[in-house]
Amino acid sequence: MSRPVHRKPEYHKINKDLFVLTYGALVAQLCKDYQRDEDVNKYLDEMGYSIGTRLVEDFLARSCVRRCHSFSEIIDIIAQVAFKMYLGVTPSVTCNNPSRNEFSLILDQNPLAEFVEELPAGRPSLSYCSLLCGILRGGLEMVHLAADVRFLQDRLKGDSVTEIGIRFLQTRDEKKYRWKK
């Protein structure tokens, strides 16, 4: 009897443009359904959180990344591997404080806002891409890292770049647990 041949799993990708246009239609519909920008932002963040909690498994299976030992390693993996894998861009990373628990991901081009020229009229506080913040927060929580993730700058609001701020809310405990005898 022969053994089954182990094949590399096939991953089906959707067209990036189709995803971006579908996302734009979703945001437009949410703007019609909710009067307040805060409600739309909250809904997009919650939806992103749900995606992030599921996407982290796919990421870990496909990327074969090793265990990270610091917040800066985690942020580098997110920027160089995850963003490239799922969005096709690589943001630059900056550290915002000496305790090294606050970082910024700076996107020169935001793929979710590729076909958006400006925010809808009368929606000044709409955070169009808050889905990304939810995805990052959900993925980090699934690997037991609580984080506050928010947009610090947004090109759609007139800033020169899109900047996502990530602040880790807990310190990493590096203790090794041993069996009691």
Q: How many other CB atoms are found less than 10 A from the CB of residue 80?
A: 14
Rounded to whole angstroms, the Cα distance separating 48 from 135 reads 4
Q: Give the model's pLDDT for residue 27.
A: 94
pLDDT digits (tens, 9 = 90+) for 53-105: 999 998 988 888 888 888 999 999 999 999 988 888 899 999 978 888 899 99
Long-range contact pairs involving 166-174 (C-beta distance under 8 Å, separation at least 24): 166/75, 166/102, 166/103, 166/104, 166/105, 166/136, 166/140, 167/101, 167/102, 167/103, 168/71, 168/101, 168/102, 170/145, 170/146, 171/101, 172/69, 172/70, 172/71, 172/145, 174/69
In this prediction the pTM is 0.84
pLDDT digits (tens, 9 = 90+) for 1-19: 555 555 555 555 667 788 8
Mean pLDDT, rounded, of the chain: 86
Q: Which two tokens stand for residue 81?
A: 């591997």
